[in-house]
Chain A
Amino acid sequence: MGLFDRLKQRLTRTRTAISDGLSGLFRGGREIDNELLDELEEMLFTSDLGSEAIELVDQLKRQHKRGELKGEDDVRASLRAALLERLDTEPAEIVLAHSPTVVLVVGVNGSGKTTSIAKLAQRFTSQGKRVIVGAADTFRAAAADQLEIWAGRVGCDIVRKNEGADPAAVAYETVDRALREGHDLVIIDTAGRLHTQSNLMKELEKVRRVVAKRLEGAPHEVLLVIDGTNGQNAINQAKQFTQSAEVTGLVVAKLDGTARGGAIFGIRRELGLPVRYIGTGETVEALEAFEPQTFVDAILAVRQVSANS
């Protein structure tokens, strides 16, 4: 079952059934005019597309002026194409090309890092890979406990130390153990940090350096976990984390709600970062490789909500 079906299923469980947002706009046989296109812009804003929304609709308005849009189908096709054009078409999944492949996971506080790591560990363990996770969040209360419980459930190995230990040391030790014991995949959890905290961003640089010291070329992947409910701030996050930690891809978590994670368009435009996975729930199975089509369709299906209820 794809994301869209899952979302649809999930949303129809709620009292208000989802209707296709774009179809909703055209209901009652409305003609395309500026008013309708403005409403479409609002619909796109609702998905956190930000100024991309304005550009997309400006383009539609130009097409409309040239008489290229006959009805709903044309609008949908044009919008869909424009959105897809803005996304990556390459396969999203992590490839375990090294032994071990080392993945560093970073992001702001509470975005979903630790849970996403559990999901990744599950995904690769169930493919028969040997996975080890490193609890390099030595700062937040019970962070290592959280990861340890997940590791137990997934059935992968873990390296952890006491609260307050040096995160770089934990990362080093994890890679070291993987090299000695022959794991296929190393995933390192880090403490949440706001991208504006330059001292903590430096800490990440150090983790990177130390990991590279043990295994040249590592980390092979740096995944930035974005909270899918975040708005335009996610773009700032991506910029800063890319600068300090050389992010290679995104995980967008919490897309099982009504948020659509449209900020990734801005991120893609500014930084060219691909989305690798999306998180669609709190269980270890709720991780999917990113599929541009379903992602875009979910945006076109957004139901408008007024703030004046």
Chain B
Amino acid sequence: MFQSLTQRLSGAFDRFRGEKELTESNIEEGLRDVRRALLDADVHFQVAKDFVDSVRERALGQAKIADKGVSASDQFVAAVHHELVELMGPEDARLQMAKSGPTVILMAGLQGAGKTTTCAKLARLLVTKHAKRPLLVAADVKRPAAVEQLRVLGRKLNVPVFHQEGLGPADVCERGVAHARAQGNDVVILDTAGRLHVDDELMDEVAEIARRTSPDDQILVVDSMTGQDAVRSAQEFHSRLSLTGVILTKFDGDARGGAALSLKKVTGCPILFLGTGEKIEDLDAFSAERVAGRILGMGDVVGLVEAAQDKIDETEAQAQYERLVMGSFTLEDMLAQLRMIQNLGPLKKVMGMLPGVGQQLDNLDIDDKHIKRIEALCTSMTARERLQPDLIDMGRRRRIARGAGQDVGAVNQLLKQWKQMKQLMKVMKKMGMGAGMGSKAKRAALEGFSPSGELAADLGGGGMLDKLGGAARGLGGAAKGLGSMMGLGGGGGLPEGFDPSMLAGGGVPGARGKSATRKATSARDKDKQKAKNKQKRKNRRK
């Protein structure tokens, strides 16, 4: 019942495949799906309505200048993407710095949004990237251990934390600013208590803090999983403070980011940063392109539309495509494989029967996040790159990484994984699984991914992935065949150096999802150890 925005939109876009032009009649159906998709993504209903209206206008305006090389769905994608970027932009991930005296940053928001954690993240950013000397002020005198929480974070960062027992929040903040002035801190970050926008008393309190400290930045911290209420609370905070920016937290989950759309519309303030994890370094600059891309599940759409326009001879391209796909193991195939492993229990079991894999399979943990990262990388590639990964040189790697919002290391890792999987596929083919992947699955994948349908496939849903669903079923059958074959004692052996855990989340740098090791006492230990080492290194440098 519940579909992600990506799936939903690609369903909507699929309707336009094969049609040459967007017309008032064929666009409506797609727009209805877009609206539902946005609502499912928690975009405020009014924002969703307005959004759909402006997409309609833009797409129909474009229809008149329709080019031969660009399909209706491509146009529609471009229009939706463009509108998303427009609504969430422009990007201006900058804090306002005071001309003289310390810069004061006020952090406000609902309970549990992530204010305290984000204060620490900002402090770290200011220290490491801007050579500032921030002071953290603990002005939450209400929540148990809120002050201690900030102190612990301050200690980790080596950033001072100001607090004075027995004072009200506004007094603490005022004295904090004075303290910063005296101590030569050039930035003051005020961590305030969480409060409900309907609580007049507490809203008065935060307004009072702002009045007495004249913050240069008044930032609303919002949980990206927030639903329709995001609009109401943001409106209320905005009316009591002069918000200058928004930070969206917990973006590392699977929230579709609907709140981002709504907040920008309601407050008119830029979205400054995205919180992408619990660790102090998990703060990314906001990028409208990236978030729009993530919402739609694709990389650089504008580039893809341009590429589509460049196409000269469709039949030649088709033939070339078939040659490539049938003859080799492409990144498309790899993505398909990972999805199958993820979706199909049986394949994992079958792989477990392969000699040498069984014991290591417990570590084989392919999570959504990992696949999404790979997907993001793949969709940031051109079609040719996906089909002939050998083409991807350093320059291309950089571009792909940028488009996906990841680092080059992630691209390197992906290509390494691809090579290993390619080897594995060869082995499996020898053992009889080729039947599954070699023909059926590939043909299915091919149907969903032709040069003319490229964009639909890029959306990661409808076209290609539905087909892959079919392919996966095909493979399931093949897997069963293999199972009985293995039962007869058939064997293969893995390519040398093949490490199944490479397929798992742990293989990608930056991915927090480590494969769970059997005797790990705490899944977070490793991350913590890393952070500790980093801190040690930093301290040594001082």
Residues in chain B near residue A149, CB distance under 8 A: 144-145
A13 to B196, CA, bound (A): 13
User: Are B524 and A110 within 8 A (Cβ)?
Assistant: no
Closest CB in chain B relative to A87 CB, distance in Å: 17
Interface presence of A257 (CB below 8 A)? yes
User: Are A145 and B528 within 8 A (Cβ)?
Assistant: no
Residues in chain A near residue B259, CB distance under 8 A: 231
Which of B46, B225, B258, B278 interacts with A308 by CB under 8 Å?
Answer: B46
Closest CB in chain B relative to A128 CB, distance in Å: 24
Interface presence of B61 (CB below 8 A)? no
A residues 150-204 in Cβ contact with B at 8 Å: 150, 153, 163-169, 191-192, 194-200, 202-203
User: Are A145 and B148 within 8 A (Cβ)?
Assistant: yes
User: Are A146 and B111 within 8 A (Cβ)?
Assistant: no
User: Are B225 and A13 within 8 A (Cβ)?
Assistant: no
A149 to B147, CA, bound (A): 13
Closest CB in chain B relative to A194 CB, distance in Å: 4
User: Are A108 and B250 within 8 A (Cβ)?
Assistant: yes
User: Are A112 and B254 within 8 A (Cβ)?
Assistant: no
Interface presence of A221 (CB below 8 A)? no
User: Are B513 and A109 within 8 A (Cβ)?
Assistant: no
Residues in chain A near residue B198, CB distance under 8 A: 10-11, 13-14, 256-258
A200 to B255, CA, bound (A): 18
Closest to B3 in A: A51
Residue picked from A42, A112, A237, most chain B C-beta under 10 Å:
A42
Chain B 64-107 near chain A by CB (<8 Å), digits 1 or 0: 00000000000000000000000000000000000000000000
Chain A 106-145 near chain B by CB (<8 Å), digits 1 or 0: 0011111000000000000000000000000011111101
User: Are A306 and B46 within 8 A (Cβ)?
Assistant: yes
User: Are B528 and A164 within 8 A (Cβ)?
Assistant: yes
A200 to B515, CA, bound (A): 10
A residues 266-309 in Cβ contact with B at 8 Å: 266, 269-270, 282, 305-309
Which of B44, B369, B516 interacts with A307 by CB under 8 Å?
Answer: B44
Residues in chain A near residue B196, CB distance under 8 A: 254, 256-257
A103 to B539, CA, bound (A): 42
Closest CB in chain A relative to B317 CB, distance in Å: 37
A residues 231-253 in Cβ contact with B at 8 Å: 231-237
Selecting from B35-43, B386-394, B425-433, the interface stretch reads B35-43
Closest CB in chain A relative to B139 CB, distance in Å: 16
B residues 227-252 in Cβ contact with A at 8 Å: 227-233, 235, 250, 252
Which of B36, B42, B50 interacts with A231 by CB under 8 Å?
Answer: B42
Given contacts A141-B153, A146-B144, contact A233 B2 (CB under 8 A): no
A305 to B527, CA, bound (A): 43
Which of B150, B278, B367 interacts with A198 by CB under 8 Å?
Answer: B367
Which of B149, B367, B515, B524 interacts with A142 by CB under 8 Å?
Answer: B149
Residues in chain A near residue B2, CB distance under 8 A: 50-51, 232, 235-236, 266, 270
Closest to B261 in A: A307
A50 to B44, CA, bound (A): 11
User: Are A167 and B227 within 8 A (Cβ)?
Assistant: no
User: Are B514 and A199 within 8 A (Cβ)?
Assistant: yes
Closest CB in chain A relative to B51 CB, distance in Å: 11
User: Are A282 and B149 within 8 A (Cβ)?
Assistant: no
Closest CB in chain A relative to B441 CB, distance in Å: 26
Interface presence of B312 (CB below 8 A)? no
Interface presence of A101 (CB below 8 A)? no
Chain B 356-373 near chain A by CB (<8 Å), digits 1 or 0: 000000000101110000
Interface of A is mostly: loop
Residues in chain A near residue B521, CB distance under 8 A: 166, 168-169
Interface presence of B299 (CB below 8 A)? no
A141 to B136, CA, bound (A): 15
A200 to B526, CA, bound (A): 12
Residues in chain A near residue B183, CB distance under 8 A: none
Closest CB in chain A relative to B221 CB, distance in Å: 10
Closest to A258 in B: B232
Closest to A118 in B: B144
Which of B110, B254, B262 interacts with A236 by CB under 8 Å?
Answer: B254
User: Are A141 and B45 within 8 A (Cβ)?
Assistant: no
User: Are B522 and A229 within 8 A (Cβ)?
Assistant: no
Closest CB in chain A relative to B413 CB, distance in Å: 18
Given contacts A110-B223, A166-B522, contact A45 B228 (CB under 8 A): yes
Interface presence of B165 (CB below 8 A)? no
Residues in chain B near residue A168, CB distance under 8 A: 521
Interface presence of B507 (CB below 8 A)? no
User: Are B36 and A51 within 8 A (Cβ)?
Assistant: yes
A10 to B196, CA, bound (A): 11
Interface presence of A37 (CB below 8 A)? no
Closest CB in chain A relative to B120 CB, distance in Å: 8
User: Are B233 and A257 within 8 A (Cβ)?
Assistant: yes
A231 to B233, CA, bound (A): 14
A229 to B367, CA, bound (A): 27
Interface presence of B523 (CB below 8 A)? yes
Residue picked from B44, B229, B231, B512, most chain A C-beta under 10 Å:
B229
Interface presence of B266 (CB below 8 A)? yes
User: Are A196 and B368 within 8 A (Cβ)?
Assistant: yes
A14 to B512, CA, bound (A): 43
User: Are B149 and A48 within 8 A (Cβ)?
Assistant: no
Residues in chain B near residue A266, CB distance under 8 A: 1-2
Given contacts A14-B200, A256-B196, A258-B232, contact A233 B39 (CB under 8 A): no
Residues in chain B near residue A230, CB distance under 8 A: 223, 225-227
B residues 249-278 in Cβ contact with A at 8 Å: 250, 252-256, 258-259, 262, 265-266, 278
User: Are A199 and B149 within 8 A (Cβ)?
Assistant: no
Residues in chain B near residue A263, CB distance under 8 A: 227
A262 to B227, CA, bound (A): 10
Which of A45, A51, A166, A227 interacts with B112 by CB under 8 Å?
Answer: A227
Closest to B514 in A: A199
Residues in chain B near residue A212, CB distance under 8 A: none
Interface presence of B541 (CB below 8 A)? no
User: Are B365 and A257 within 8 A (Cβ)?
Assistant: no
Residues in chain A near residue B112, CB distance under 8 A: 109-112, 227, 254
Chain B 365-387 near chain A by CB (<8 Å), digits 1 or 0: 10111000000000000000000
Chain B 192-205 near chain A by CB (<8 Å), digits 1 or 0: 00001110100000
Residues in chain B near residue A111, CB distance under 8 A: 112
A259 to B246, CA, bound (A): 20
Interface presence of A54 (CB below 8 A)? yes
B residues 449-491 in Cβ contact with A at 8 Å: none
User: Are A307 and B47 within 8 A (Cβ)?
Assistant: yes
A15 to B197, CA, bound (A): 11
Residues in chain A near residue B265, CB distance under 8 A: 307
Closest CB in chain B relative to A235 CB, distance in Å: 6
Which of A51, A146, A203, A307 interacts with B522 by CB under 8 Å?
Answer: A203
User: Are A150 and B233 within 8 A (Cβ)?
Assistant: no
Could you pull out 13 A-B pairs where Cβ atoms are within 8 angstroms? A47-B228, A48-B228, A51-B39, A109-B114, A168-B521, A196-B368, A196-B369, A230-B226, A233-B225, A236-B2, A257-B196, A263-B227, A305-B235
Chain A: residues with CB nearer than 8 A to chain B?
10-11, 13-15, 42, 45-48, 50-51, 54, 108-112, 138-143, 145-146, 148-150, 153, 163-169, 191-192, 194-200, 202-203, 227, 229-237, 254, 256-259, 262-263, 266, 269-270, 282, 305-309
Q: Lowest 3 CB-CB distances: which A-B pairs, in order?
A: A231-B227, A110-B112, A231-B42
Given contacts A109-B112, A110-B250, A307-B231, 14 further A-B contacts (CB under 8 A): A50-B2, A51-B1, A110-B113, A142-B146, A145-B145, A163-B152, A194-B252, A199-B513, A231-B42, A233-B256, A256-B196, A259-B228, A270-B2, A307-B46
